[in-house]
Structure 1
Amino acid sequence: MLMKMRRSASRKTNSTTDATTDLFRSAASKASSREMERIDNLFHSYGDKSSGMIDPEGIENLCSDIEVEHTDVKILMLAWKMKAEKQGYFTLEEWRTGLKALRADTVNKLKKALPELEKEVRRPSNFTDFYAYAFRYCLTEEKQKSIDIESICELLELVLGSVYRAQVDYFMEYLKIQTDYKVINLDQWTGFYRFCNEISFPDFNNYDPDLAWPLLLDNFVDWMKEKQT
């Protein structure tokens, strides 16, 4: 008799637990659905109806609302978080990806999320990916594989200027006066970030030109050494 009572009590307990779990799941599902609805509504408030995307004008309006300049690196970081593919445009799916990850379904929440997003991007494990993404994001044509010097200098200033000030300033100076390269490719772009991380500056004591550095950086180091003599 005691065994039957215990089994009965156990079934009731399990039943109650299952019911509670179902309630939590239902509430969580409804909350998630409402959050996504708000995220979608926010997208449509900036999106262009004819293209179905947030275009450059929409992004400028968004920047105004979150009080960030459209040239601020945080907007590029936001694009990275969204995994946005086309410069100056956000699709609905990209918008959902980014804002859901940031738990931002209002303008105010998005504004508050940006400082934490910047911290996330600045972690070494993420920054390498972000740095490469910045280059790819600035490719404006499908088969384009390189970026002109002027645009590269602007991108360097935006992405690395606050971290490696001296290296960026000298490298930009060199890029603007040299005549061998009119464009920069991804290998050269990522090579410069590796250079900033690994090479002592400005003495270059640990720079070995026999290692796998882009020729552009060999030339840059030679130019810097001549400048210092």
Structure 2
Amino acid sequence: IIMLVLAWKLEAESMGFFTKEEWLKGMTSLQCDCTEKLQSKFDFLRSQLNDISSFKNIYRYAFDFAREKDQRSLDIDTAKSMLALLLGRTWPLFSVFYQYLEQSKYRVMNKDQWYNVLEFSRTVHADLSNYDEDGAWPVLLDEFVEWQKVRQAS
């Protein structure tokens, strides 16, 4: 996950490599002129994940960073991998949501769905007791809640 945070700090456009310009601009903003200084920034970079505002920016950045540039959505396998990286250790319902995505009809995740998964993970209780069926959630999340309630009832 540290590489994702670093890519966010470098404002990298594509997963898998940094342009020379991205690298130099990012290293300057981090005040790093050698690998030792970059390594010394790892704790700072990790701390960005604990800041609510920074995490939200990293999470939103991850969507565009991970998607194929000619696509408007993330393929579902990439979305699942990125969600595991970003929410897997902190969202109590993550493993259940992952299972749902595994068996669902969804093959891609659009930006609205992606953004709303984070909001859902932050606001809806693990037992779904405060889920508002009349809320403005994407159908993906409505169907997840329905699926989970059926599972809980059986």
Give the deviation of 1:128 after TM superposition.
0.8
Asked if structure 1 preserves the Cα contact closer than 8 Å seen for 2:67 and 2:75, the reply is no
Q: Which stretches of structure 1, 4 residues or more, deviate above 4 A after TM superposition? A: none
| CA deviation map 1:159-204 (0-9, x unaligned) | 111221x32111110001112x111111111111100111111x21
Asked if structure 2 preserves the Cα contact closer than 8 Å seen for 1:131 and 1:159, the reply is yes
SS in 1 for 2:32: coil
Which residue does the alignment assign to 1:191?
116
Which residue does the alignment assign to 1:26?
none
Asked if structure 2 preserves the Cα contact closer than 8 Å seen for 1:87 and 1:140, the reply is no
- The within-5 A match list for 1:20-169 is 73-141=1-69, 143-164=70-91, 166-169=92-95
Structure (1/2) with the larger helix percentage: 1
| CA deviation map 1:56-102 (0-9, x unaligned) | xxxxxxxxxxxxxxxxx100110000000111121122112221222
1:220 aligns with 2:144: yes
Give the deviation of 1:109 after TM superposition.
1.0
Asked if structure 1 preserves the Cα contact closer than 8 Å seen for 2:75 and 2:107, the reply is yes
Which residue does the alignment assign to 1:174?
100
Asked if structure 1 preserves the Cα contact closer than 8 Å seen for 2:97 and 2:144, the reply is yes
Higher relative contact order (CA 8 A, sep 6+): 2
SS in 1 for 2:15: coil
Q: TM-score, normalised by structure 2?
A: 0.94
Q: TM-score, normalised by structure 1?
A: 0.64
Give the deviation of 1:107 after TM superposition.
0.8
Alpha-carbon distance in structure 2 between the residues aligned to 1:105 and 1:139: 30
Alpha-carbon distance in structure 2 between the residues aligned to 1:220 and 1:95: 40
- Please tell me whether Structure 1 or Structure 2 has the larger radius of gyration of its CA atoms: 1
Give the deviation of 1:145 after TM superposition.
1.0
Q: Which runs of 5+ in 2 are unaligned?
A: none
Letter of the structure 2 residue corresponding to residue 189 of structure 1: W
Give the deviation of 1:211 after TM superposition.
1.3
Letter of the structure 2 residue corresponding to residue 151 of structure 1: T
